[in-house]
Amino acid sequence: MRLLTLAFVAAVVGDSPDAHGFTGGPVRAEIVGYAPVDARIYFRLHAQDDSGSPPRSWYIDLDGTRPRRPVRARSVEDPDTTYGGSWTTPAWQALRRRLVPLVADSVSTLEWAARATTSGEDTGEQVAILPLSVDLRSAGRSAHVDVTAFCNPMVGVRGIYGIPGREERLVVLTYVGRAYGCQEVETPIVLE
């Protein structure tokens, strides 16, 4: 069993212009599906704020280099990322047709542990900065992820999914990942 170390959450949330000009609201992960041909899990991150920006598209390459890091799938996004940009481009629709849905895993037991330390205060929002170290384990698969939380060390799991034809599992981790308004962020993590 391999322990996978991931530290990509800051890159995922930080890549969004909305993260820098944030006006309030959580970031939700939409698990879209699995492309067996290129062994990629596709997901979109929806910033549920008042920016009006369409979701950002990402994939995780299961046969790629380790540690597994999400890659921005800009080719399926509308280049107009301002209010009114399209959520469903022709490229996105074509991709979506070839994706296989992930299956909710209601049988496996998920074990997880989180450790938090205080590393100071966000001076702009005046909230605690909390580096979190999270270990996840299910069905003989595991992952380790380091994230930065704000306000409180809340960590949870929204779901665990089987990947058709593969042994890995996908877990959607939730934590308070935005300082402004202490908002929740959801992040897909692959258990290997």
What pLDDT, on a 0 to 100 scale, did the predictor assign at position 84?
53
What's the CA angle centered on 101, arms 98 and 102, to 5 degrees?
135
pLDDT of residue 117: 85
Bridge partner residues of 188 (DSSP): 172
CA distance 123 to 55: 28
For the four alpha carbons of 179, 184, 188 and 192, in that order, the dihedral sign comes to positive
Single pTM value for the model: 0.82
Question: Distance between alpha carbon 21 and the CA centroid of its chain, in Å?
Answer: 20
pLDDT at 68: 81
Residue type, 30: E
Sequence ranges of the domains in the chain: 5-191
pLDDT at position 8, please?
A: 38
Which tokens sit at 64?
A: 């790629």
How far is it, in rounded angstroms, from Cα 189 to Cα 150? Answer: 20
In this prediction, residue 188 carries a pLDDT of 96
What is the mean pLDDT for each group of 10 consecutive residues in the chain (192 residues)? 36 43 74 96 88 85 85 86 64 92 91 89 88 93 93 91 94 89 92 92
